[in-house]
Structure formats: C-alpha cells, structure tokens
Amino acid sequence: MEDRYQMAFSRLEDIASQFYEQLEKGKIPEMKIATRSKNNIKFNKRSGVWKLGNSKSTRSAKKMSGAVMILRTLYMLDFIREMIDTDRSSTLREMYYISEGWDKAKFGDQSESDRLAEDMEIVSDCLREDFKLRPEEDGARIIGDIVVEEKTRKGDLRKLNCRDDVGDSGYTIPYNVEKDKVNFSKVNVDFIIAIETGGMFDRLVENGFDEEANALLVHLKGQPARSTRRLIKRLNEEKGLPVVVFTDGDPWSFRIFASIAYGAINSAHLSELLAIPSAEYVGITASDIMNYDLPTDKLSQTDREALKQELEDPRFNTRFWKNEIETMLAINKKAEQQALAKYGLEYVTEVYLPEKLGELGII
C-alpha cells in the first residue's frame, strides 16, 4: 500500500474504534458531522476560500434512522478497508450497488451513499481518492502546450504534450490527479481558461485560441468534476498560472464559477485543495447581454429563484455579483456563451475574449 492509502486506512480504523469505545463504556454510539449548508460556510482569510464552519449535527443510535446510518458507516468502512487492502477501486455507483448486500443497511438511492462518502472525508480529513473511490463520469479535456507525466497501469512513466500529442478532443483528465499519479514537466502557457460547454471548447480549439493566446483550454463539462478543479488548482498553485472562467450567463453558470473560485458548499471541507480565490470571471453577464446585444432566453421561475438565493449566498456578496444578479433579474433575460456566434464564428476569439482578457491584464 502507498503512504496516502495507509494514512486513510489508519484514520478509518480510528472511526471504527470510536464506536467500539463508546459501546465498551456503555454509551450509545454517535458521530458528529459538520453541517453542509450555506449557513455554515465561513470565509477563511488565510487561505482566501470559503470553508465549513463550526456547526455540527449528531448522528446517534438513539433513533432508528441514526442507528441505520451508523450501521451503514461501519459497512462502508469495511468496504473501503477491503479495497485498500486488496489494491482495488470502486466507482461511487458501484459502492451504492454494493449496499444491496448489506443486511438492514442498504441505501435508498445513490445520493445517500455519495453523501456518506463525503462524511467519511470530513471526519477522516482524507480524500475519497484515498479510499479508492472514483466518480463514474468521464474526465474533462484540456488542450495546450504543457507536458503531462502520468503513471501507466504498470507503473511506467508516460509523457504527453497536451497540444502536440493529442487530437482535437484533447487530453482526458484522469480521476486521480495527485502528485503520485500526475505531474507537469513542461508548462509553456500564460494562463488557463476554463470553459463551461463542449461546443465553446471545440470552437476555441478550432479557432486555434490555445496557440494564438498561449493558453491552456480546459473543458469543465458543466459543473466541473473534482479532478478537473484539482488539476486547475495544482497548475495555478505550483506553476503560478492565472485562471479565468468562461461560462454561460445564467444562475447555474454563476455557481460553476463560484465552485471554482470560492469553493462549493457540498465540498467546502476540501476548499483549500480545490478552490482558486484568484480566478476571474470572463463569462456572459447581464451587462454583456445589453452591451453586446446578445440573443437571449427569458428567465424561468426556477432561474429567478436561483438568482434570489445567490443574493443571499455569502460567496456572491460582492459589488460585482450583486450588480450583475440584480441586473439579470431586472432585464429578466439569460444568454448562452455561444450566443456570441450572432457576429460570426471568429467573434468570440477575435473580439469578445481579447476585450475581456485585456481588461484583466491577462493578454
């Protein structure tokens, strides 16, 4: 076993030991978990990210629901221990189905098992990758002049230039991008542009924006996977690359930016590993809709409610975001980043992005 897995193994044993000690002392088993909600995230001045606060909830076997959750926890701990011990891994989906064999403890749906995996991260201070758990979805793509070093299945080192050695689809980010698996031996780009949609990623690739602007293009695939956020974070932190985020202009896209720059609420316990406080927004705004006269759609009621929630979200408590959110509510319109094609396929790379990036001093 590698050191990171040994550490995870030890901390999982500590959780099980706490339950055993409580029972040995005649106490009803319980476990305290940090509450994950926007009311329990606090800004950490030292790291510049939003992290979980001090509010905690208690899971106690006093009630049947609490007893079931503790039983599920023990089953999951044993499942993870077995994977680490045998050097196997599981997708989060497989873990959900594994519970079908857990007597009186199977999950009702995958959201329950995913949430418990996050709980294990919080109480152990480890990553789910340290537990040999991986997501189901394919990785996002990157294109740009950097050389990635990654270990093959046989443990050999492979080097790949993410511009010259890949096709138009780019290099696919693996689920585990920690230093024992992935490193960067050459980084010849000036900044990272993280792009929400596959259509816009492909447009920038076809227009040669990675070479023209000397940028690393990253396809976020909507709300980005942890591995994508972690890779961007590592390049920003280790190589000093500025990060800009290019999304649609709607409340859900604003949240994509928030997860990258400020940290997501559900993974606030990992904000220092994932969030990039210096990230800048170059996506579509309400001001852009008016200034560029973009094609739009009317906000749905769900959109409006989401925007109102963002006005109460501490991560959006800045003059820029309040102005843009209030303006979007006022004009009652949203727009996709591909709406820029109104002015031609080259417009986004010849006019829009150069203007936005120029204002930020990126290019």
Per-residue confidence (pLDDT) for residue 167, from 0 to 100: 85
Higher pLDDT, 125 or 184: 184
pLDDT tens, residue by residue, 254-295: 999 999 998 876 666 777 888 999 999 999 999 999 999 999
Can you give the pLDDT at residue 264? 72
**Digit-coded pLDDT (tens) for 318-344:** 999 999 999 999 999 999 999 999 999
Does residue 120 contact residue 92 with C-beta atoms inside 8 Å?
no
Domains of the chain: residue spans and CATH = 3-134 (1.10.10.10), 141-360 (3.40.1360.10)
- The residues assigned a catalytic role are 97
pLDDT in tens, 34-89: 887 777 777 777 777 777 778 888 888 888 888 898 899 999 988 988 888 888 88
